[in-house]
Structure 1
Amino acid sequence: MGQCLSPCCEKQGPNSPAGSSSDSGHPNHSHTLYIAGIPVSDSKDNGCGEPNPPVTTPGSEWKMFTPYPKLPPIKKQGVSAEAKRLSLISREVSEAKILAMFEQYRDPEEDCILADGIERFCMDLEVKPEEFIVLVLAWKFGAETMCEFSRTEFVQGCKAMKVDSIKGIQSKFPELLAEVHEKQAFKDLYRWTYKFGLDTASAQRTLPTDMAISLWKLVFSQNEPPVLQRWLEFLEKHTSIRGIPKDTWDMFLNFTEQVGEDLSSYDDTEAWPSLLDDFVEYENDRHNQNVTTD
């Protein structure tokens, strides 16, 4: 700015000859800066004794702008804000889509998904029915019976996970596996597994030993305690043990956490189930070679 875009305005005075210009060499010449056509400060004049008029372009009116200072870049949303945004999106699940997915696997004669439907469900999820993630999924659905998902369990489970499609469920697998690596979550899963294995149709209250062995292998498949294989061998060898009470199932988890691999820290004065006492005694005798291992 400060450059004249139009001829200088001539000032006529009583002592000035016609056609002469004002004193252009005055040291305090000034002009006016304009923002949106509004004068805001004085600076040099246009050399004609008058402030510079605002620069205009054809068809414009008082649209002279001075450059604004460069603004700092707008900060991007933090991770927490982005996570909240994605969380809001993920909550927008469609119950209609969940019900349509349920109908795809529902038994034609029952209002639930039975063994055949679960097998097809697992195939679409690209997992095997005996995989650990399927057990975790059943736990998240709150399933009460093995090889069965009721309509309510399926719908509420999908809503809780905020999914309404096969791809949506698959996307949750890493999150589910990470969740059950936490001690309390795994404890909840472990205790639920006992009830899940019971045959509720026959009012079963004690888990058959062969079913318990299968479920122990499955529930500990991601993080096997050192003593597990010897415990299972003990049960398989002693066929007279026909069932596992719930307190034995629950306490075995504590047993794996408190007793060392060599069982040296086992205290038989504590209130352990008798079956665990028998196991430790058997292992100690075998270690002392008092028991054959055929």
Structure 2
Amino acid sequence: MSESHLEQWFAQYQDFERTDGASVIMPDGFERLCTDLGYDMANIEPLVLMWKLECSELGTVTYDKWESSLKAMHVNNANELRRAIARVLKNMSIEEPVYKQFYQRMFNYLKSDKQKVISAEFAKDILPVIKTQDNLLFDKFVKFLDSDSEKYKTINRDQWQSLLALSKIMDSNLTGYSKEDAWPALFDEFADWVQKQN
């Protein structure tokens, strides 16, 4: 694809009101791009697209990343971009390292610049969207956070990453969970809660 064609495509969504002169698609432009691709913002595709376009923040794409990402995916138009994202989704469902990269990146998108935590509200919104089909533990974890929203207000990176690790080795009843293992204390409380539910 020629660079001028890439620039024209980018310009359809670019924020031209910026005073710093930077070539950037902002969240409203990103949402228009997703609409044109036929993506529902409540589904996983926009998040995968964000990840593959190497967005620095939620729904924010610089021209440099746009150009390098599309070239890396061998994408020349909207149809090819849709197909590329579909391939990524398929790979994520069968290749654990690919899904892990995506999952870990989500934490960066959900936190504010200088913060080291994300809000539990954000986590509760996004976990059902990004979970794999067989992952029932995420659903239970969301209900657990809901059970005391005054107490569980934030999630740190260690807890976020541990949730994925836990979901890989435990069933949704946390069978075999031990407080002697080195899980964050939050998961001891989660295990107690699951036990009470059962």
Q: TM-score, normalised by structure 1?
A: 0.62
Which residue pairs with 1:96 in the alignment?
A: 4
Aligned Cα RMSD in Å? 1.5
User: 2:125 & 2:134 partners in 1: Cα distance?
Assistant: 13
What is the identity, as a one-letter code, of the residue corresponding to 1:269? E
Shift of the alpha carbon at 1:118? Answer: 1.3
Shift of the alpha carbon at 1:129? Answer: 2.2
Which residue pairs with 1:23 in the alignment?
A: none
Q: Does 1:125 align with 2:37?
A: yes
Q: Is the 8 A contact 1:97 1:165 kept in 2?
A: no
What is the identity, as a one-letter code, of the residue corresponding to 1:270? D
Q: Does 1:178 align with 2:86?
A: no
Identity over aligned pairs, percent: 23
Shift of the alpha carbon at 1:241? Answer: 1.2
Q: After the TM superposition, which residues 1-294 of structure 1 pair with which residues of structure 2 at under 5 Å, given as runs? A: 93-110=1-18, 111-181=23-93, 182-200=95-113, 203-220=114-131, 222-239=132-149, 240-287=151-198
User: 1:234 & 1:121 partners in 2: Cα distance?
Assistant: 35
Alpha-carbon displacement from aligned partner over 1:87-139 (angstroms, at most 9, x marks no partner): xxxxxx22221111111100121321112211211121111223211111111
Shift of the alpha carbon at 1:171? Answer: 2.5
Q: Is the 8 A contact 1:191 1:250 kept in 2?
A: yes
Alpha-carbon displacement from aligned partner over 1:37-81 (angstroms, at most 9, x marks no partner): xxxxxxxxxxxxxxxxxxxxxxxxxxxxxxxxxxxxxxxxxxxxx
Q: Is the 8 A contact 2:104 2:161 kept in 1?
A: yes
3-state SS, counterpart of residue 165 of structure 2: helix
Q: Is the 8 A contact 2:140 2:172 kept in 1?
A: no
- Structure 2, unaligned runs of 5 or more: none
What is the identity, as a one-letter code, of the residue corresponding to 2:111? L
Q: Is the 8 A contact 1:118 1:148 kept in 2?
A: yes
User: 2:32 & 2:39 partners in 1: Cα distance?
Assistant: 10
User: 2:140 & 2:185 partners in 1: Cα distance?
Assistant: 17
What is the identity, as a one-letter code, of the residue corresponding to 2:82? Q
User: 1:250 & 1:269 partners in 2: Cα distance?
Assistant: 19
Q: Is the 8 A contact 2:50 2:59 kept in 1?
A: no
User: 2:137 & 2:103 partners in 1: Cα distance?
Assistant: 17
User: 2:35 & 2:139 partners in 1: Cα distance?
Assistant: 30
What is the identity, as a one-letter code, of the residue corresponding to 2:144? F
User: 2:117 & 2:43 partners in 1: Cα distance?
Assistant: 24
User: 1:198 & 1:153 partners in 2: Cα distance?
Assistant: 21
User: 1:199 & 1:154 partners in 2: Cα distance?
Assistant: 22
Is the helix fraction higher in 1 or 2?
2
Shift of the alpha carbon at 1:262? Answer: 2.2
User: 2:42 & 2:5 partners in 1: Cα distance?
Assistant: 26
* Greater Rg by CA: 1
User: 1:138 & 1:232 partners in 2: Cα distance?
Assistant: 23
- The structure whose RCO (Cα within 8 Å, separation 6+) is larger is 2
